[in-house]
Amino acid sequence: MRTEVLPDPEAVAKRAAEVLVETARAAVAARGRFTLAVSGGHTPSLMLHELTEKDLPWKVIHLYQVDERLAPAGDPQRNLTQLQKHLLEHVPLPEGNLHTMPVEEAKLDDAAARYARELEKFAGSPAVLDLVHLGLGVDGHTASLVPGDPVLDLADCDVATTGPYDGLRRMTLTYPVLNRARSILWVVTGKEKAEVVPRLSARDRSMPAGCVRSANAVLLSDEAAASKLDLNE
């Protein structure tokens, strides 16, 4: 895993947007499209805002969600709500290129299976996303792959629904599709992450984030989150 430490969340967000642009252009040159899955969070919102000022080939970009809370449309806890506010309202992404998780449906297992098929429409079968953007929780979770949840053990599906976490169930991409991705972009900021960043760097498999493959992965961290990371190792 390549690691870059930047001064603050704003610098991390700016660099993350640069990495996304570079990866998008390379993917379009190689395959004619760019498939991207994004997570939620404060610094990612800054990253999305940075993307609004970039020259990107939106007509051939397909945007997916890494995970989503089971909450009504427009709920401020929904990752989609933030995605719309910070990116989609400002860029010419075609309506058919946005692939949102169907978390409002009654039959969630069927909805998750359908989203897995939605991945395959533009990322191949099995789905191989060009880039997956991930965050890191203080408990070592990423996406909605949280400690102790049964979805951690799934090896035969790309999308699943979780048990309750912080009061809400989630829909999430699972390890199989994360580990097939051509590249992973970790965006991690804040002093509260200082204990888990070294574990991520060491691929500590005792926490969920440590089970995501590290090949072709980039970790962008601010100085606070990386304060206990030994970059000389």
Residues 177-231 pLDDT 10s: 999 999 999 999 999 999 999 999 999 999 999 999 988 999 999 999 999 998 7
Query: How many CB atoms lie under 10 A from the CB of residue 14?
Result: 15
Does residue 90 belong to any structural domain of this protein?
A: yes
Number of separate domains in the chain: 1
Q: Residue 21 falls within a domain, yes or no?
A: yes
* Segments forming the whole domain that contains residue 56: 2-124
Whether the link from the prior residue into 44 is cis, omega within 30° of 0, is: no
Domain presence at residue 42: yes
Write down the pLDDT at residue 46: 94
Within a domain: residue 53?
Answer: yes
Integer-rounded Cα Rg, in Å, for the chain is 16
Residue 155 lies in a domain: no
Cα dihedral 113, 143, 73, 131, rounded to 10, equals -80
pLDDT greater than 80 at residue 100: yes
Note the pTM of the prediction, 2 decimals. Answer: 0.96
For residue 226, give the nearest of 197, 187, 192 by alpha carbon: 197
With tokens 């880039």, the residue in question is 131
* Phi, psi for 62 (deg, rounded to 5): -115, 120
Q: Is residue 139 part of a domain?
A: no
What does the pLDDT read at residue 214? 87
Q: Does 24 fall in a domain?
A: yes
List pLDDT tens digits, range 19-45: 999 999 999 999 999 999 999 988 899
Q: Which residues have CB under 8 Å from 196's CB, separation 6+?
A: 136, 137, 138, 139, 140, 207, 209
Q: What is the DSSP string of the chain?
A: -EEEEESSHHHHHHHHHHHHHHHHHHHHHHHS-EEEEE--SHHHHHHHHHHTTS---GGGEEEEESEEES--TT-TT-HHHHHIIIIITTS---GGGEE---TT-S-HHHHHHHHHHHHHHHHTTTT--SEEEE---TTS-BTTB-TT-GGGG--S-SEEE---BTTB-EEEE-HHHHHH-S-EEEEE-SGGGTTTHHHHHTT-TTSGGGGS--TTEEEEEETTTTTT--TT-
Per-residue confidence band for 77, with pLDDT thresholds at 50, 70 and 90? very high
Cα dihedral 62, 66, 69, 75, rounded to 10, equals -40
Which distant-in-sequence residues (6+ apart) come within 8 Å of 82 by Cβ?
Answer: 40, 45, 48
The CATH number given to whatever domain includes residue 51 is 3.40.50.1360
What's the whole-number mean pLDDT along residues 13-23?
Answer: 97
Residue 58 lies in a domain: yes
